Every structure is written in C-alpha cells, then in structure tokens.
Amino acid sequence: MAAVTVLSATEKQRIRWSFVIVLGCLFIVLLNFWVLHSELRTGASNIAGGNPPVPVLLALILLLPFRRWLKFSDAELLAFYLFACFALLPTTYGGVRSFFPSLTAPLYYATPDNRLKEFWTLLPNWWVPKDSAIVRGFFEGMEGRIPWDEWLSPLLRWTVFFVGLWAIGYGLAWLLAPNWLSAERLNFPLAQLPLQMVRGVEGRNFFATRLVWFGIFLGAMPTTLMALCAFFREVRRFWDLAPYLIDRPFNALRPLMIFPLVEGVGFGYLVPQEVLLSVWFFYFVLKLIALVGVGVFGWEIPTVMGIGDSFPFPHSQSVGGYLAMAALLLWRGFKQGGSKHQLHFALSIPHSKMLAIGLIASGSLIVSGWMMASGMAATIALTYWFVLTLFVVTYSRIRAEVGMPYSWVYPYGAPRDFLHYALGITGLLRIGGVKSLVLLSGLFWVARHFYLNLNGAYAADSVKLAVEGQLPALPLTLLSLGAMLVGLWAAFVSHLTAYYGRGANFLEGSPGTADYRTYVAAQDYRLLSNFLNKPTPPDWWRIGFTVYGASVTLLLAHLRRLMPTFPLHPLGFPLAYAYSHHCPYWFPTFFVWAVKGLILRYGGMSLHRKLAPLFLGLALGHFLMTGVIWGGILYPLLRYKLPFPLRIVFE
C-alpha cells in the first residue's frame, strides 16, 4: 500500500461536510430524474449500473475542472464520491425496483390455478397497502396519481428495514476491511479509479496522462462500433456458441457464451494473476465435468427441486465456497482482532471497531426482528439472516481483493434457495408453516438482488478511501447513512412516479409484460405455490455439492497458507460458479490474465505499473460510452427510430 500522508487535526477539520451533502443531494435528484426518463419509462439504458457506478464517475469528472474555483480538497471529492455511491444504490436494479414487486405481485398475479391469493392474505397489512385498486394501479397505471396516503406509512416502516441492511453491510466491512488493508495489504482495485482521478498518477493529473486518453479511446470503441452496426443489422453483445454444440457429447457444454466485457479487462488488470487464473480454470473444470458426466456417460441426476440449477450444480458449489470463505474470514478476523496492524487508530475515532460491532448488532436486530415481527418462525428468520450476513462478508472480501467490476459475483438467490434445499419444503413447513415460506418469498429480493451485498462492497471501498483521504470514520459513517436515506426516498418517489404513471406492466418499455424484476418476484411466488402442492424433502445432491464447494475452498485456502505461490486462489472457485452454467466473465478474465502475463513476463513490474493508467482508462471509456453517451443520451432518443435496437446493460 502506498504511504499515506497524515494530515494535522486542523487540516482534517477543513472538510466542508455540509457542502458535500448539498452537492450529493443535488446529484441524486438529477440522477433520479435522468433514470425516470431514460431508464424507467423507456428501458433504453442501464444508467445506474456499473461498478464503480457510471453516474458517480461522471459526476466526479464534471466536478474536477471546478476543484480550484470551488476549493475542493481531495478529501471532499472522495467524500462526495462515497455519498453518491450509497445514495445511488436504491435506484439500481437491485434496489427498490426489486423491492416493490415482491410486495404487490401476489395479488395481481393470483389465478385459480395458483395459491397467490392465499399468499397475499399472509403478507402483513403493515407491509403494503391492501387495497386491490391501488395494487392494480401499480401495474396498470393511475394517470400519475400516486396514492401517498396509502404508501407513506408502509414505506416509513420499510425505511427502518433498509437501515438495518445498510448497518449490516457497512458494519461488517468496517470491522474486517481495516485489517485487510493494513495487515494483508489488499489492493481494493475498484477504489483505484476514483482515487487516481482525484489524486492523479505519480504526481500528474489523471486526465493529463496520454495513456489514460488512449485507454478511454479504446474502451469506447466496442460500443461505438456496435451502435453504428445497429443502424444496418441486428447486433448481439455476446457470441453464443450453442449453435455449434448440437451433437452429443458437446451439447453438454451448453450454455457457453463469450461476453467481451471491456470493464472486466480494464479493472481485471489490477486483479492478482492467481485469482484471474482460478476463475477461468474452475469454469473450465465445470464444463469438463459436464462434458464427461452428462455428455459421455449420460448421467441424469434426479431433480428434487426445480430452482434453475443442474448437474454439477455450480450454484450449490458456489454457495459452499461463499459460506466457507466467510467462516474463514471471520475466524481470521477474530484471531487478528488485537493485531498491531489494525488501522482503527488512523481513522480519527478511537472506538471505530466498537462502532462497527454496534452497527452489525443493531442491523441484525432490525432485520431478524423484522422477519419475526412479520410472523416468520424464529429459527427460519435467524438462519436466513445468518446466511445473508455470511454472503456479505465474502462479497466484501471479493471487492477488496479481487475487485470484479460486476454486481452479480455471487450465486444470486442462493441464500434463500439454500434454506429450501437444505431443509426441504417439508422441513420448513414443519418449522414455520406456510406463512414463513410466504415471507421468505416476500423477502426473496434481498437474496436474489444485490442491494445488501453492494452495501458491504461500497463500505469496503470507503475504508480504503477513508485511509487514503484521511476521512474521519464517524462523520463518514453518518454521511453514508444520510446518503442512503436520501437516495432511498428519492428512489421511492421516482419509481412510484413511473409505476403509477405508466404502470409496472410497461416499465422499462415493456409491452405490457412488466420488467424483469417483476417477473422474478411473480415467478418465485408461483414456484412456492408448486412446492406447497407437492412439498419436497431436502435435496441431498445439492447439499452434497455445497459441502464439496466448501471443502474445495477451504483446501485451496490451506494450500495458499502453506505455499504462498500456489497458483490457485480460494476466491476464484465460488466466483467461477456464481453465475451458474453461463458465467459471463470467464472470457474477459482469461483474456486479461493472458495479456497481463505477457506484460509481466517481458516487461516486469515496472512496465505493469506504467500501463495501469491505460487499463483504467479502458474501463472508464467503456463506462462513459456505454452508460452515458449511448445508453443515457443517444439510445433513449433513437430507440424507436433504429431498425435494430441495441440495449447494453452492465453485469
């Protein structure tokens, strides 16, 4: 880690927190207005996507030219960056856009063929307005009339739940990440771009470096070429190899796709080689097992639960890896708790560890208490909370050490599905009855989407930026909490405006079929209806592969401790299988591993360090062209004029 310049107490007090908050609030208002018109209403873009978030990087770029006139310090710019990240999160796909459908779908999608009407009656009255006209208006529109009288009280109550999720993610990161930074010297790759944009590269302005501009040019080219081609023919943002894998045994390799994810190449340059190798290597192993087991020998594993995973159950293996890694990280953190390397003394508050523990405790009490107050059996509620918490630990570690620039680097939905297949529907019914299962579906959005995990990821980045920018811990914590609350209510307003203006059925330009988050919520309730009609026992195949995934991860971690140069990394295993059979980031991971290997072999570390701005520029150019110029401005204007629409989203 680079040496940190310690500022005097007087210099630290010069941070204009009120100024940062005003700018942050202005940013989130403008962002939600942009998202409402260019994303929610037309579905033309994924503005609030990207890791780091594209709109936040854009805002930082626009502020940098005025830093002398507005007398911005590095600390103030970094504080604004963090405020904007936490405020943006509720506006993303994983925020309130996945939350609202989980409350309203059971009534609207109820039919005589399913049990969704029964599920609707089991959702607490204080969760959601129970007026059927309000729910129907949510999906079909009410000419812009938002029934705030009915929604205000439930949303105020849900705000407490969102605070609980924030507290768990933020507290865990601030408990563990200081030691990752000081004792283990982790790189925090995704924090490097805003840090270098603010502080410069080797004493020079970031945008005064030619390699940065060359990287921006290269990063913008793929989307530019696809956009130009879209005027003449249909363009797909990936290559599907399935048409070439038709005959047995090679059909067992499907799905197999190549995604040219430019951001994965740009930020992947900062990822350790052993992690890059492990991701594509274990994905290769997955396909090899499928080829031999299914393609050659024709193994047919009996399906106990239809939850979208098949032999050799990569999601279950990733679950095992995630849980084992979290347990290992917590154990190491406990053992190193008194280490002299801890950075808590450097974060301007003597009891920052106690602050982190207090946040974890209060957040856990809120989230688990919310579930039990809703009617979920205590055993199920505590187990669900515990699994969710362990996932945040591993996700935050991935952010700090690996820095994959994707949101979906975890087995999505698995914390809840783990309960389904580990205990079985029969076991869950025995413990908590039908109501507990319905409430698990009502809170499925927490496990399926990334709101909770990204809270932990942004909090991990905040530790790195706090140390580098000498930001005091307690004001930064309050700033992050305030940003989350401002962003949450701005997202409530913008999304309800879209829902009651055009209706969820037409959200994101859908032709009356609703957006994907609504589909996921409705489909999960339908799946539960099928489970209850024919309750399933524990799925021992998935349990076995979960144990196998945990064992492999622990073995890799042990080998790394014995042999620090061992080429495979324990985090690479759950990452390779997190997206199940169709991992979108195996190819960019392989590509940057090969390129970086050649650079290190023939140019050494000196050339590697010199080329880092080029790769950061590559990621930035892709983000700006894809998320801002094309996705945020041009495509919303041209969507209905293009003969071949081209919508590009961030993974």
Q: How many domains does the chain have?
A: 1
Residue 170, CB half-sphere, CA atoms under 13 Å: how many? 28
647 in a structural domain:
no
- For 534-585, where are the alpha helices, taking DSSP H only? 540-562, 572-577
393 in a structural domain:
yes
- C-alpha angle with apex 372: 368 to 378, nearest 5 degrees? 85
Q: What is the pLDDT of residues 140-187, one digit of tens each?
A: 999 889 999 999 999 999 999 999 999 999 999 999 998 898 888 898
293 in a structural domain:
yes
Percent of the chain with pLDDT over 70: 94
Bridge partners (DSSP) listed for residue 240 = 257
Identify the pLDDT of residue 153: 97
What three-state secondary structure class fits 18? helix
Percent of the chain with pLDDT over 90: 72
Is the four-CA dihedral 205, 211, 217, 223 of positive or negative sign? Answer: negative
Bridge partners (DSSP) listed for residue 239 = 258
C-alpha to C-alpha distance for 573 and 539, rounded to whole angstroms: 22
Mean pLDDT of the chain: 90
Q: What is the pLDDT of residues 570-625, one digit of tens each?
A: 999 999 999 888 889 999 999 999 999 999 999 999 999 999 999 999 999 999 99
Stretch (H or E) spanning 258: strand 257-258
Interstrand relation of 257-258 and 239-240 (parallel, antiparallel or unpaired): antiparallel
84 in a structural domain:
yes
- Listed range (309-318, 341-350, 555-564) with the worst mean pLDDT: 341-350
The candidate with the shortest Cα–Cα distance to 264, out of 85, 50, 458, is 50
Please say whether the beta carbons of 403 and 575 come within 8 A: no
What is the residue whose two structure tokens read 């106690």? 354
Please say whether the beta carbons of 400 and 188 come within 8 A: yes
Please say whether the beta carbons of 94 and 490 come within 8 A: no
Q: Both tokens of residue 79?
A: 């504080």
4 in a structural domain:
no
**Confidence at 57, pLDDT banded by 50, 70, 90:** very high
**52 has a pLDDT exceeding 50:** yes
Rg (CA), the chain: 24
Query: How far lies 524's CA from each of 127, 385, 417, 442, 487, in Å?
Result: 18, 19, 11, 9, 27
Contacts with 389 (C-beta within 8 Å, 6 or more apart), sequence order: 168, 172, 364
Contacts with 219 (C-beta within 8 Å, 6 or more apart), sequence order: 262, 266, 617, 618, 619, 620, 621, 622, 623, 624, 625
**What amino acid occupies position 320?**
G
Q: What is the pLDDT of residues 69-122, one digit of tens each?
A: 989 999 999 999 999 999 999 999 899 999 999 999 999 999 999 999 999 999
In which domain, by residue range, is 550 found?
14-638
Please say whether the beta carbons of 22 and 46 come within 8 A: no
31 in a structural domain:
yes
Return the DSSP state at 83: H
Stretch (H or E) spanning 191: helix 189-199
Identify the pLDDT of residue 203: 78
Inter-axis angle of helices 378-397 and 148-182, nearest 10: 50
Inter-axis angle of helices 516-533 and 414-442, nearest 10: 90
**65 has a pLDDT exceeding 80:** yes
537 in a structural domain:
yes
**Confidence at 348, pLDDT banded by 50, 70, 90:** very low
Identify the pLDDT of residue 577: 94
Inter-axis angle of helices 352-374 and 414-442, nearest 10: 50
251 in a structural domain:
yes
**Confidence at 20, pLDDT banded by 50, 70, 90:** very high
Contacts with 30 (C-beta within 8 Å, 6 or more apart), sequence order: none
Identify the pLDDT of residue 1: 36
**Confidence at 200, pLDDT banded by 50, 70, 90:** confident
C-alpha to C-alpha distance for 441 and 416, rounded to whole angstroms: 8
SS (H, E, C) 438-457: HHHHHCHHHHHCCHHHHHHH
**Confidence at 46, pLDDT banded by 50, 70, 90:** confident
Identify the pLDDT of residue 9: 39
Residue 428, CB half-sphere, CA atoms under 13 Å: how many? 31
